[in-house]
Amino acid sequence: MRYLTDRKRAVGLGSAKTGVHHFWAMKLSSVALLILIPLFVFTFGPMLGEPHEAVVAYFARPFPAIVAALTMIVGFKHFSDGVRVMIEDYVQGGKRKYAIILMTCVSYGLMVTGLFAIAKIAL
């Protein structure tokens, strides 16, 4: 007779595997975005349709550049974590892995492209 407790049988099973890390990462990035999104909307928005020199001069200033860069980092991390949940819910089997890899690459690709652009404008 084997003596298995309920806990021993449950450890390592379930959908979470890594515990609450994903939940906490989403919570952290969502609270950060609560501050960043309004700041970004009202700094990026008015620049749409403005002349090139005005846009470059504006995003060379510290505040708009830092807000835009932080929004890219936290926003695309949040997107990457969020789209992963959608894939895990709707895509099965091997396709799930490919979809998660693809969307993670897209997220970090867009994040770094945006950061490169802001750095080039600001520096």
Binding site for another protein (CB under 8 A): 4-6, 9, 27, 30-31, 33-34, 37, 41-42, 44-46, 48-50, 52-53, 55-56, 59, 68, 72, 75-76, 79, 82-83, 86, 106, 110, 113-114, 116-118, 120-121
Q: In the bound complex, what is the minimum distance in angstroms from residue 48's beta carbon to another protein?
A: 6
Of 65, 83, 74, the residue nearest 35 (C-alpha)? 74
CA distance 93 to 72: 31
For tokens 């693809």, name the residue: 102
Q: In the bound complex, what is the minimum distance in angstroms from residue 46's beta carbon to another protein?
A: 5
- Beta carbon nearer to another protein, 24 or 98: 24
Cβ 44 vs Cβ 59: under 8 Å: no
Specify the DSSP element, H or E, that contains 100: helix 93-122
- Beta carbon nearer to another protein, 4 or 94: 4
